[in-house]
Amino acid sequence: TGAISSLQRQIEIQESKLRRIRSEKEMLQKHLREQEVQLQAMSDQFFSLTEEQKQEEMMVMMEQENHNLQQVVMEQESQLAEQNKLISELQETISQLRAEVVTARLNLLEQKQAQKEIQSQAEALQHKELQTRVALERISTKFERYRNKIIQATFSVEGIQGPRGELTDEQVLEAMQKIFNERTEFQKMLKNKASR
């Protein structure tokens, strides 16, 4: 956005220069026309004289004035040529700046679109995270109930001391393994007695 504003300010500056140069060009053209009118008037005045001396004096004056006017005309034509060249350069610069503004706006639009997509993805991830947390809490609750049932079943067996304080998973497994081993030994003893 800052780049677009900067480019637009540059365009305004260049267009202001262009207007000023065009105004100067119009003034030069007007001055040139006035000089041409003056030259034509002098020429008309020269041809209207009837006396030979006045004609000679006027001829000298006209030649001098004509020379001066030609110098002025050449200078003004040179200035006009330079200003035309400068106008072309300014118009080209303005066109480039406008193209840069369009490009910058397109880039900004693409960035906004990308930002929207990222925002949408972030919202989707947050929703998925929430669902995952809910599922994890549900599983944790089920696991805790299942663990409590195992502890109750394990320590309700005759001959197994009840737990003192909170049990670790390793302690529960050890107690279950002990019950399993004792039952296995008991079954072996029964089989031995039966075979005898």
- What pLDDT is recorded for position 65? 83
* Range name among 52-61, 112-121, 182-191 with the lowest pLDDT average: 52-61
Q: Which residues contact 163 (CB under 8 A, 6 or more apart)?
A: 151, 155, 171
**Average pLDDT in the 88-116 region?**
89
- For residue 115, pLDDT over 90 is answered with yes
**Average pLDDT in the 150-175 region?**
72
- What pLDDT is recorded for position 52? 61
Q: Which residues contact 172 (CB under 8 A, 6 or more apart)?
A: 147, 150, 151, 154
- What pLDDT is recorded for position 53? 59
Give the Cα separation of 70 and 140 in Å (integer).
102
- For residue 128, pLDDT over 90 is answered with yes
- For residue 49, pLDDT over 60 is answered with no
At residue 127 the predicted structure's pLDDT band, cuts being 50, 70 and 90, is very high
Give the Cα separation of 160 and 179 in Å (integer).
8
At residue 51 the predicted structure's pLDDT band, cuts being 50, 70 and 90, is low
- What pLDDT is recorded for position 188? 85
**Average pLDDT in the 116-144 region?**
92
At residue 120 the predicted structure's pLDDT band, cuts being 50, 70 and 90, is very high
Residue 61 identity (one-letter amino acid): M
Work out the burial of residue 76: count CB atoms within 10 Å of its CB; fewer than 13 is exposed, 13-18 middle, 19 or more buried.
Answer: middle
**Average pLDDT in the 61-73 region?**
83
Half-sphere exposure of 77 (CA within 13 A, CB side): 8
- What pLDDT is recorded for position 131? 94
Pull the structure tokens for residue 7: 């480019």
Q: Which residues contact 29 (CB under 8 A, 6 or more apart)?
A: 80
Nearest to 3 by CA among 17, 11, 13: 11
Q: Which residues contact 15 (CB under 8 A, 6 or more apart)?
A: 94
Nearest to 15 by CA among 101, 85, 98: 98
Q: Model-level pTM greater than 0.75?
A: no
